[in-house]
A and B are shown apart, each in its own frame.
Chain A
Amino acid sequence: MLQLINVNKTFNPGTVNENHAIVDFSVTINDNDYISVIGGNGAGKSTILNLISGGLIPDSGKILFDGSDVTRMPEHTRAKYIGRVFQDPMMGTAADMIIEENLALAFRRGKRRGLKWYITEKERQSYREMLSELDLGLEDRLDSKIGLLSGGQRQAVTLLMATINDPALLLLDEHTAALDPKTAVKVMELSHKIITEKNLTTLMVTHNMKDAIAYGNRLIMLDKGRIVLDISGEEKSRLTVNELIERFSASSGGELSDDALLLS
């Protein structure tokens, strides 16, 4: 459903800070793939997500959605295909707007916005049900400002917003990294539940090796803007953290140096 073909991206070209972040990058993401993406700092994980979402435009190469070229399509147009959760819980919601306004905005992703009222009574009912499934007591707080919620609550609502109208592709950008460990587990489990229930094609960037192994049917490891490991199915389900580290060293030709990645 999504193809990246020979994509390149260089930051600060022609300066001392030149950084060839993504190098001749090609990958095909199939329908219903549930991919965890790992890699050290600067491996290009976030850059890839931004290239897919349209936040960044590649220097060369092509990005195809179901065969049609979206390489230069602006982010807000491409949004009709993509639901997204950012690392920063503040990023995915509008703090000064109330919960139901945020959900209603997300519900209209990919639809034409006109001069109708921002929400219907029917929607309000369904939002209440969706929120009660989160089990965070938010179903009675539809008219609370999002800014009053905790980081975990905000991330749960963002997750709901990203998946509310079954996106063709769900992008999770280290979406539990900024949460405390207990909340991180909860949000990860919630994500897994929604992804499997709705059978969403998902690209999940994570710092956490255990999560990368535990969740998803495919694992991609990045290093210096390239894919160094891409395994799926049986092979992935048998993977262990130690094996992953070994295979990383073997394929990238170096030691895994990023402590953050090892320790988590």
Chain B
Amino acid sequence: MSFNFTSFLNSCPGALAQGILWGIMATGVFITFVILDYADLTVDNSFCTGGAVCAMLILGGMSPAVSLIFAFLSGTLAGMITALLHTKLKIPGILSGILTQLALYSINMRIMQRANVSLLKAETVISLKNIPHSIVIGAGFMVVLIAILYWFFGTEIGSGIRATGNNSRMAEALGINTDTMKIIALMMSNGLVALSGGLVAQYQGYADINMGRGAIVIGLASVIIGEVIFGKNINFAIRVLSTFIGCVIYYLIITLVLQAGLNTSDLKLFSAIVVAVALAIPALKKGKVKGGDR
């Protein structure tokens, strides 16, 4: 169990590619968790829905690029269901996400008809076999996405979504339909998550029923790492970028701990601890200040 620096360096491009591709998913989490102040757990399986839709459409003969559009749309549907459970049927937010996530497992199995669909023989937009190319394509998606989100959240509707997340009572009093805002945001978020799932499936060469398990934690970790490094008082475009950078850093750390001898199966524990500690920092800081006062 010795750390090999050269082999770490060798796996850096892979981590970068994964960070960017999963960063699209993390951006979805950013929209719900940070902007809308809604902990949406749909993510863990809408990610797989995107991958499943992409894989099956590609195997059915669709162009892999076009299949990504359908991956996005499948995610928006999943997000819409969570949003309707929450806004129209008044089911608590976290539970709405859990219900959709659970239901999606069955849906995803229906879509794929088995637990794992290989794309190794199919033509894909990006692939593990050509990592630099995948990084370039992924970065292209990232730049376009940042530009679109910067524009959208600067519009009247986007600003209404931010107001809903920041102070929903005020938003209502100012004539903003907060239900509609939540529906739009959750659809966008899960659309991005599924798009990310589609890209990841193409990149790794398969879609798997468990491919999104723990995605929400990776998304949160990325958002938090980005916030720690760049702070919150920065331009919106840079905030979105910081989530991508957070995700890349997350994958670099994962690569590092794997190189250091941790088992793949230990990663979820590791990720959970990282996120728990990061989320606890504000409370821990507060506790310290209080103690000092006494």
Q: List the interface of chain A (C-beta within 8 A of B).
A: 53, 55, 74-77, 79-80, 82, 84, 86, 90-97, 101, 104-106, 108-111, 113-118, 145, 161
Contact = CB atoms under 8 A, between A and B. Distances in A.
Contacts of B167: 90-91, 93-95
Given A93-B167, A97-B163, 12 more contacts: A75-B173, A76-B171, A77-B175, A90-B167, A92-B170, A94-B171, A95-B167, A101-B163, A105-B160, A115-B152, A115-B157, A116-B155
Interface string B141-178: 00000000000101111111011001101111111111
Given A76-B175, A76-B178, A108-B175, A93 B159 contact: no
Contacts of A110: 175
A114 B162 contact: no
B156 A115 contact: yes
Interface string B251-268: 000000000000000000
How many chain B residues sit at the interface, stated as a range, is 20 to 34
Nearest to B167: A94
Contacts of A76: 171-172, 175-178
In the A-B complex, the 8 residue pairs with the smallest Cβ-Cβ separation, listed nearest first, are A79-B175, A94-B166, A113-B156, A118-B159, A109-B175, A94-B167, A75-B172, A115-B155
A114 B155 contact: yes
Given A75-B172, A80-B175, A97 B162 contact: yes
Contact of B174 (A77, A109, A114, A117): A109
A118 B158 contact: yes
Nearest to B162: A97
Contacts of A92: 170, 173
A105 B154 contact: no
B173 A53 contact: yes
B171 to A, nearest CB: 8
A90 B169 CA distance: 11
B166 A96 contact: yes
B174 A118 contact: no
A256 B204 CA distance: 75
B162 A113 contact: no
User: Which of B158, B160, B172, B178 gathers most chain A CB within 10 Å?
Assistant: B172
A104 B173 contact: no
Contacts of B171: 76, 94, 105
Nearest to B176: A76
Contact of B173 (A84, A108, A145): A84
Contacts of B170: 91-94
B178 A108 contact: no
Contact of A101 (B159, B173, B176): B159
A179 to B, nearest CB: 18
B139 to A, nearest CB: 27
A95 B166 contact: yes
20 contacts: A53-B173, A75-B173, A76-B175, A76-B176, A76-B178, A79-B172, A79-B173, A79-B174, A93-B170, A94-B167, A97-B162, A97-B163, A104-B159, A108-B156, A109-B175, A114-B155, A115-B152, A115-B155, A115-B156, A145-B233
Interface string B205-231: 000000000000000000000000000
B166 A97 contact: yes
A88 to B, nearest CB: 10
Nearest to B153: A118
Contacts of A116: 155-156
A105 B155 contact: no
User: Which of A76, A77, A82, A95 gathers most chain B CB within 10 Å?
Assistant: A76
B3 to A, nearest CB: 42
Given A93-B167, A94-B167, A97-B166, A118 B154 contact: yes
Interface string B76-93: 000000000000000000
Contacts of B175: 76-77, 79-80, 108-111
